[in-house]
Structure formats: structure tokens, C-alpha cells
Structure 1
Amino acid sequence: MPRLRRTLLAALIAASIALPVSGAAHPAAVPAPTPADLGPLPAATPTALGARYTASREGVRAAARAAAGHGDRRRALALRAMAGPDRHFLTFDGRDGGRTAEVFGDLSRAGRVAVLVPGADTGLDTYERFRTDASALQRELGPGAAVVAWLGYRTPGTTTPEVLTTDRADGAAPGLRRFVRELTSAAPAAQVSLLCHSYGSVVCARAAPGLPLDTIVLFGSPGTGADHADRLRTRAAVWAGRGSGDWIGEVPHTRLPLLFTTVGFGPDPVSPEFGARTFDAGSAGHADYLRPGSVSLRAIAGIVSGSTSSGEASRA
């Protein structure tokens, strides 16, 4: 335990030193207008979805104009691309680094819906990699499924103290809960899964209790903040996987109470101690789980589609 304490304290100190550097160029500095209040999605019908996509597209365009006026040409160009007719956003807010929920596939006909929750360093300026992952997953799942890339919170930076605590996840969880409840109400026949990468696992764990979910998939996870899968208080099947090339496996899986906060997220989700069902993630590195053709992408898609059973571990 003393060694783990030293490791975590060293990480906290290093992150604190890096904070002024990373914060200086934070994407929240780019202004964007307050989005229109669109209200809950009434139903996942082509008409209702079309109206929502059109309204959100106008919000993206307004944010692009604001970025251009601010002199951020790179952000403006990225937002103009996001406003294209082939992009479908249920929600969009360009402020404070960005909040979005983009749909891949036909949500009106989807029997299965995967909500993808990102980890650290995800925002409008790094959004393309998140979009690429969501698109690859939807292609792997096929036309009967849809993927929603949910960037509904200000993610922590990997070089900030926030990435070591549940604070950002605590703030994000209510929004994810509202979104999932709205989605399941609008598409009551669909089976909904939460797919949670890295720090997103902590967000999902905080949001999970009582949600009407089919599965929760944790990958590249530092932990969840819970001691056992049962403590997520969900009826969903909880799965976990980690690639052999993922550095996150070297992170100490413990929690360390400090003066004003707690550092760390508890047991390793792929360990028997945590009690999740496990899947083979192959040689995936931390950013590679949804890479086309990968073992991990096939496994995650199989879990969402209900076809994966091999490699399932009995729950502790």
C-alpha cells in the first residue's frame, strides 16, 4: 500500500504541475452561442428525428460563425464540416469545449442502440477520432443498429488532476442519465447499451443505477469507483475488456483518500474481484478498441448485438 500511495501522489503532483500548461490552450476559450432549447425528443420517428437534426444543424452553423468571428479558423472549418447534410446531431452545444450527441445509422429503425461515452481529452478539437470510432462501430453492427456518440460533458485532460478523481464523472452522470432515459422513451422497442471508454467508465458507473439498459461495456478502464459490478446497481449485463497493448493496465487499481478528495477508482474491471463478464480485446492499445478489423471491435459489436458468449467469465 505505501508504494501505491507514493505512485498516486506522484501522479497527482505531476498532473498539478502540468495543469497551467494544458489549461492555457483549453478549447473552452473559443466562444459559441447558447443553443436553442429543443426539449425532449418526442419519438424516434423519421419526422421527429429530421426536425431535431435540422435544428441542431443550425446550432452547429451558429457556432461555426462564432468561431470564425473569434479568429479560430481551424474550429470554424471543423464545425462547418459537422453541419453537413450527412451529419445527424440530437444535441449540440459549442460552449466550454463542446457537448454533442451524434447519431450513426438509422435511429428510427434500430433494434439496438449503443451509446458511446468517451474518456479524457475528448472535445470539439479532438472530435474526429471519437466520430471515427463511432462510425466504425456502427458499420460493424450493421444496418439494424445505431450508435450515438455522446459527448455530454467536459472531459478531463490526461495531464490534469481531475483525471484522477470522480469529480468530472459526478458532474456528467445526471446528463447521461437524462439522455438515456429520453432515448429509451423515444425508442422503447430498442435495446440500449452503454459503451464506456477509459474515464468514460467512471461516468457510466455513476449514471448506471436504475437505467433501462441491456448491457454496459467497459474498455480501457482505469476502474469505475465501485468495488464490484453489483455496486453499479444495474440489471444490465456488465462486461469489461482490456487490450494487451493498453498502458491503462499499469495504473494502480486502488482508492486513496486525501485531504479534500479521493484519488483512484478501485478494482480493475477485468479482474475476478470486480465480477464483470470479460471479453477478449486482443492487442488493443488505449485508443485502438474500435479500430476496424480489430479483435476488440468484433467483440464489442458482438456484445451489443447479443451474439457474444465465448470468453464470458462467471460473475464472482
Structure 2
Amino acid sequence: MTLVSPHRGFLLERLEGSTGTMSWWSGRLIRMRDQLEDLSDAAESAQELPGVGQAVTAVRKDAGELITAVVSDSEEAGLLARVLQDYSDAFDRHARRANDMVEEIETAHARWSQLYDDAVGAARTAAAITAAAPQLLVDALSSAADEAAADRDLAWRELSELWAEYETYRAGWDTAYDDALAALAGAGSASLSPQERRLLVDLLGADSPAEVLRLWQEHPEAHADLIAAHPDIIGNLDGIPYDARAEANRARLDDLLKTEPPGERRDDLEAILRALLVEGTPRPALISFDPDGSEQVTAAIAHGDLATASDISTLVPGMNGDVHDLQGWGEAARALNRDVGPGSATVVWFGYDTPGLTEEPAMGRAKDGAAALASYLDGLRVLAPDADVNVVAHSYGSTTAALAIGSRADGFGVNTFIAVGSAGFPNADGIAENLTNGQPPRVYATLSEDDAVARIGRGTSFVHSVVPEHLDGVTVFDSDGGVDRDGDSLPAASGHDAFGPGAYLQPGSESFYNVTEIIRTGEPGTQRQGEGSTKGFWDASHWWISDEFEFFDF
């Protein structure tokens, strides 16, 4: 049970943060600022070079342009250093002390709860004594009830004092957090009015996507200016309507492409642009876009109208996925919309750093991705409260999605969770229980008999080795060839790929057909090992061990 403070409604939880790391980065930023100032001084000296001629004039011109660029970067580095150090100091003063009280409050609450039950029991026992009982027994039981009530009340006062202290520290940390946001929001916001800057701070400090949406809807007059001044914030803030986010992100992408030099980052930006340049109505929408916030450029593209859709599916990629795959996934997304029917919209969500081969056995990438996916799903449910929400996740993407969806008993409002070629669900406490508790989401899984990669992924990990196909309540469907409702042949998935020939999400395949039927009707469209099904390399008949040896039956 999660405890909540009685007066301010603060959750009793540990606040994450490393003052050492924050201070280290603050120091690095200060050194960067100093180096930029030295570079600016050198450029000013270059402007004063004596002589005439084309070369000297060019040097002076370049020096002037360099000074203009360096001054802005220097000021930004200095601001970030100050904000980060101030926040680090505040974390020590407030958040660290709040964290130190968590266990003490949990213990005090447990003691009060027990004494409360004891007092109730003692009072009931005293009240049950009849008039015929000896007066000595009546007096003893009444005295015991009074003592139990006194112990209960004392425990409550002690608990209340702890809560009051905790709320003081949490409030101090909240204020420091808001101050940091205000400082960052003020930077680069010269074009905004004081009211617009205040709204930006409020949006950044909002506790939920629902609060973000409320603030946004209350101030339509500020939308255009906020998008223009801070497309990086508005384009990625869960709770902001997707049309506004798409407008901000597309403008930012176009602006970056005007100045981005050749290289890997430009290649990524151009890959996103290509995925957006698809004919049709509505055009694909860039609903999240972060070229700088992580190791990879991340993005999410919506195919279909999220504002009016009755079915919204989200495709989550796995190992080695990146924005260069957006086109291939986009084809699968549009085919899914077409096969599910009117009212379907699909998001291709590359919103996290996917793991490479050496990172796949661990959970680091899944934990970061799950936090981002959970926030996205929270925002999606706020913006599309009446839509059925489906998540289709491939490979390590299913590990990430299972961690996100299974972290809450309500599954963030997801109705259907479909895992294809899963690398295994997390072994973390409560995840499998939340996914199979009889409440939404309903979970489905498939594993091709020719998919060695997924099996290796499960077999080489100690932290995401839960086999989804073996969980109670999970509906397993085939991807090894079959026939559709009209008797037409459906190709098998012949490996681990998500899209392309022989892939799980290749339109026309058995796996893809079953995914669309699950979203449409709640049930797979083909029978397990039914007509047309083929035996793959990993079928049990190929091995001398029985099914009880799970390593070979992932």
C-alpha cells in the first residue's frame, strides 16, 4: 500500500537524485563556460588584427560570427551550472532528509495501524460484557479499552508529527524544483510575456498529463507563442494535444535540417523526414521528437487521427531499432489501420534508446524506456479517454512494454498488450501478477518456431527470462503459417524480424493477421497448429529433450 501524507497529499516515496553527479556536471559546465569565454576573448583579439585585404577581412568576419555564437552558449552553460548546483544543494537540504524519513514513517504507520486494531478489539470486547458480569471484570475490560485507545492516540500523534516534518521537507524540495524549472523556462523566453512564462513553468511543474491538458486548454491565447519559443518542450510534453505537439516537432525538425552538417545526426533527422513524407490523409504526425536528450535520436510518428480514433495501437521496437526503421514500421502501422478498419490509428514509438547486442541481457534500457512509455501511455489515456488502447511490442520492446504496463495494476489504461518474438518479460516483483490479474490489459503472445534470437534473449538473461507464452491468462497465437477465415494461406514468420518478408509484422502473414484480428475482435484469427501450420526448426520433434526443459521451449 502506498502511503499519502495527510495534509499535502505527498506520496511517501524516495526521491531520486545524486548530488554528487549533479555537482560534477555543474563543475563541468562551469569549466565549459570558462573555456567558451576564453574562446570569445581570442575571437575579440582576432577582430583587432591590423592590416587590410581579403584574408584579414574574412578573419574579422569569422571572429565576429564566432563571438555571437559563443556568447549564447557561454551564457547557457553558466545558467545550467547555476541551476544544477542550486538544485543539488536543495536536494541535500530537503529531498535527502525526506528520503531518510520514509522507513521511519512506514514503521510508525504500521505500529499505529496495529494499535488501532487493538483498540477496536478491546472496545468491542468491553461492549460485549453483559450486565450480569462481575464488576471487577467489567472494570478490567473498560480499563484495557481505555489504555488501548490511549496507546492508539499517542501513536497517531507521533505519526502525525513525522508526517508534518516529511511534508516540510517535501514542500521545500517541490519549491526548489519549481525554482529550477522557472530559471530554465526563463532562458530563451525573451519573446514570451510574463504570463506566458508563468504558464510554461506551470506546465513543466504539472504533476500529471491531466494537469498539463487542463493548463493548456485554459490558455489558448498562449499556444502559438509557446510553440514558437519552446518547440522542444511543447513537442514532447505528455498531456499537450497531439496536433500541437506535431506542429512544434515538425517545425523544429525543419529548422534543424537547415543547419545540421553532414554526419550521423543529420542522417537520423533525414530518416525521420522521409518517414513523414508519405501520401495520404491524414499525413503522418511527429508527436514526439528528441534529437539531444539521449544517446539515440528518438521520435514517435502517428499514422491516423489520434483525436478521433476509437482504436489506438502503439508499436514498440526492440534490440538495435532506431529512427531509420521508421519507414518500415510505418508501412506496418498503415496496414494495421487498414485491416482493423475505420477508427484505427497507430503510433510507431521509438521513444527510448534500444539496446545493442551486449546490452540486451540487462534491464537498463528497458527501465529507461519503460518510464518514457508509461508517461506516453498516461498522456494517451488523458487525450483519448474513450479509445481502446493497444500495445504491440517486438523483441526487447516487449520487455520494455511489460515493465511499463505491468508496473501498475491498472496497466495505464491499456486494453490489449500483444508481444511478438518477445525477449522475455521482466522478473521484477509484481509485473507478471499485474499483467495477469484478470483485469485489462488482456495479454497475447506469439513465438515463431524459427525464431532463435528471442530464445537466446530469454535464455541469456537473468532479469527478463519470464516466458510470456507460459503465463496463466496469456492467450498464445500462432505465427507459423495458417489460413485466414476465407481459407487463404498465410505465410509463417521465418525468423526474428519485425517487418519485411518473413517477419512478425509483415502484412499478410499469419502473425500480422492474428494481431489485427485480436485488435478487431479480441481473439486470434487462426487456430493453434491449425490448417496450414508448419513445423519450424525449434519444434519439439527436432530435439531429444522433453518440453519440461524450458530453455529449449521459450
The correspondence for 1:128, drawn from 327, 331, 336, is: 327
TM-score normalized by the length of structure 2:
0.44
**Deviation (angstroms), 1:69:** 5.3
Q: Distance in 1 between matches of 2:254 and 2:275?
A: 8
The correspondence for 1:200, drawn from 371, 384, 397, is: 397
Residues 318, 397 of structure 2: 8 Å contact kept = yes
The correspondence for 2:238, drawn from 40, 64, 69, is: 40
Residues 205, 224 of structure 1: 8 Å contact kept = yes
Q: Residue in 1 aligned with 2:29?
A: none
Q: Residue in 1 aligned with 2:531?
A: none
Q: Residue in 1 aligned with 2:355?
A: 156
Q: Residue in 2 aligned with 1:55?
A: 248
**Deviation (angstroms), 1:177:** 0.7
**Deviation (angstroms), 1:203:** 0.6
**Deviation (angstroms), 1:78:** 2.6
1:269 aligns with 2:464: no
**Deviation (angstroms), 1:300:** 0.5
Name the SS for the 2:289 alignment partner.
Answer: strand
Change (3 A) 1:40 1:307: closer
Change (3 A) 1:252 1:194: closer
Larger deviation: 131-140 or 235-244? 131-140
Name the SS for the 1:68 alignment partner.
Answer: coil
Residues 113, 190 of structure 1: 8 Å contact kept = yes
The correspondence for 2:427, drawn from 204, 207, 226, is: 226
The correspondence for 2:317, drawn from 101, 114, 118, is: 118
1:242 aligns with 2:447: yes
Q: Distance in 1 between matches of 2:457 and 2:266?
A: 41
Larger deviation: 297-306 or 65-74? 65-74
Residues 255, 265 of structure 1: 8 Å contact kept = no
Q: Residue in 1 aligned with 2:209?
A: none
Residues 91, 100 of structure 1: 8 Å contact kept = yes
Name the SS for the 2:250 alignment partner.
Answer: helix
Residues 231, 248 of structure 2: 8 Å contact kept = no
**Pairwise CA RMSD of aligned residues?**
2.8
Runs of 4+ in 1 over 6 A off after TM superposition: none
Give the letter for the 2:419 counterpart: L
**Deviation (angstroms), 1:299:** 0.4
Residues 118-140 of structure 1 show CA distances to partners (whole Å, capped at 9, x for unaligned) of: 10111123333332332332222
Give the letter for the 1:122 counterpart: G
Change (3 A) 1:239 1:247: same
Give the letter for the 1:230 counterpart: E
Who wins on radius of gyration, i.e. which is larger? 2
Which is bigger in relative contact order (C-alpha 8 A, separation at least 6)? 1
1:166 aligns with 2:381: no
Name the SS for the 1:163 alignment partner.
Answer: coil
Q: Distance in 2 between matches of 1:83 and 1:240?
A: 30
Q: Distance in 2 between matches of 1:241 and 1:66?
A: 45
Q: Distance in 2 between matches of 1:280 and 1:71?
A: 39
Residues 275, 330 of structure 2: 8 Å contact kept = no
- Whose helix proportion is higher, 1 or 2? 2
**Deviation (angstroms), 1:163:** 0.6
Q: Residue in 2 aligned with 1:178?
A: 375
Q: Residue in 2 aligned with 1:188?
A: 385
Q: Residue in 1 aligned with 2:509?
A: 294
Q: Distance in 2 between matches of 1:114 and 1:198?
A: 17
Structure 2 residue runs of 5 or longer lacking an equivalent are 1-229, 481-491, 498-502, 529-554
**Deviation (angstroms), 1:286:** 1.3
Change (3 A) 1:40 1:295: same
Structure 1 residue runs of 5 or longer lacking an equivalent are 1-33, 43-47, 257-262
Q: How many residues align?
A: 266
Name the SS for the 2:444 alignment partner.
Answer: strand
Q: Residue in 2 aligned with 1:280?
A: 478
Q: Distance in 1 between matches of 2:472 and 2:256?
A: 43
Change (3 A) 1:264 1:251: farther
Q: Distance in 2 between matches of 1:281 and 1:214?
A: 22
Give the letter for the 1:98 counterpart: V
Residues 280, 311 of structure 1: 8 Å contact kept = yes
Give the letter for the 2:322 counterpart: G
Q: Residue in 1 aligned with 2:48?
A: none
Residues 221, 248 of structure 1: 8 Å contact kept = no
Residues 119, 155 of structure 1: 8 Å contact kept = yes
- Whose strand proportion is higher, 1 or 2? 1
TM-score normalized by the length of structure 1:
0.74
Residues 138, 147 of structure 1: 8 Å contact kept = yes
**Deviation (angstroms), 1:76:** 5.0
Q: Distance in 2 between matches of 1:124 and 1:64?
A: 15
Name the SS for the 2:261 alignment partner.
Answer: helix
Name the SS for the 1:194 alignment partner.
Answer: strand
Larger deviation: 81-90 or 178-187? 81-90
Name the SS for the 1:89 alignment partner.
Answer: strand
1:81 aligns with 2:284: no
Residues 280, 295 of structure 1: 8 Å contact kept = yes
**Deviation (angstroms), 1:254:** 5.0
Q: Distance in 2 between matches of 1:71 and 1:281?
A: 36
Residues 163-211 of structure 1 show CA distances to partners (whole Å, capped at 9, x for unaligned) of: 1111111111111111001011001110101111100111111111231
Q: Residue in 2 aligned with 1:5?
A: none
Q: Distance in 1 between matches of 2:289 and 2:455?
A: 35
Give the letter for the 1:239 counterpart: Y
Give the letter for the 2:442 counterpart: A
Q: Distance in 1 between matches of 2:296 and 2:426?
A: 25
Q: Distance in 1 between matches of 2:475 and 2:339?
A: 21
Q: Residue in 2 aligned with 1:305?
A: 520
Give the letter for the 1:58 counterpart: A
